[in-house]
Amino acid sequence: MRPILTACAFAALAACSQPAPAEKTAQAAAPAPEPVTAPAGLYTLDKAHSTVTFKVSHIGFSKYVAGFDDLDGRLQFDPASPAAMSVEATIDVRSLDLPAPPPGFREEMLGANWFDAARHPTITFRSTRVEPTGARAARVTGDLTLHGVTRPVVLEAEFNGGYPPNELDPGGARVGFSAHGSFKRSDFGMGYGVPAPGSTMGVGDTVEVSIETEFSRQVP
């Protein structure tokens, strides 16, 4: 019995003396992003493949989600120099899209207490700075004009890909992005219904914005 135990002990010692396999250092390096083949130039918003939605707290019970249907915009695209890129967009406030609105609710939202669309029919965004934060990510700072007030906001953007003109896409060259950000609606003079401090009874002040968009360009 003792020789068997001794042999087992030596086997255990031998196993412990073997070098531990490398962990993350032995893993294959992450593949490099595919090269961007979409050409530089001025692109226009593809309205059929672009959405802007926003979320606000509803009495602290849920996040109310709505959006807009009528968007327009332009993108100065330069894959060789992301920091030199710029974007501007316009939203028609009267295209407000609400989920199953009860009678009169849409008119109330477009009225003086909320968007006041009669006096402020558009929302605009114009970038002032683009800071790359990753291989295909950037922080986009710009001037948002909402409810007649202009203030800076920041969007975190992700480049989803693009391609040059091809026979399968009549729109020409195409690029796509996702972006998100947030701001306080009270900063833009839209403080109606904001809950009192320490309460959630009302409509939250923080507006979360989500953008999915594509731009296209006809290249001669």
Q: Give residue 219's pLDDT.
A: 76
Q: What is the mean pLDDT of the chain?
A: 89
**Spatial CA neighbour of 64 closest among 90, 95, 96:** 96
Average pLDDT over residues 122-142: 97
- Convert the pLDDT of each residue in 201-211 to its tens digit: 999 999 999 99
Q: What is the per-residue pLDDT for 129?
A: 98
Q: What angle do CA 188, 150, 190 make, to 5 degrees?
A: 10
CATH fold of 39-217 reads Lipocalin (2.40.128)
Which pTM does this prediction carry? 0.84
Check residue 34 and give its pLDDT: 77
Q: Which residue has the higher pLDDT, 6 or 39?
A: 39
pLDDT, tens digit, 9 for 90 and up, residues 43-55: 999 999 999 999 9
Residue 20 burial (CB count, 10 A)? 6
The two three-digit tokens of residue 56, written as one number? 């606000």
Share of the chain above pLDDT 70, in %: 85
Domain ranges of the chain: 39-217
Nearest to 177 by CA among 102, 91, 73, 66: 73
The partner residues of 63 in beta bridges, in order of sequence, read 57
* Number of Cβ atoms within 10 Å of the Cβ of 26: 7
- Min mean pLDDT across 5-9, 36-40, 75-79 is at 5-9
To 10 degrees, the CA torsion angle through 98, 62, 49, 44? 90
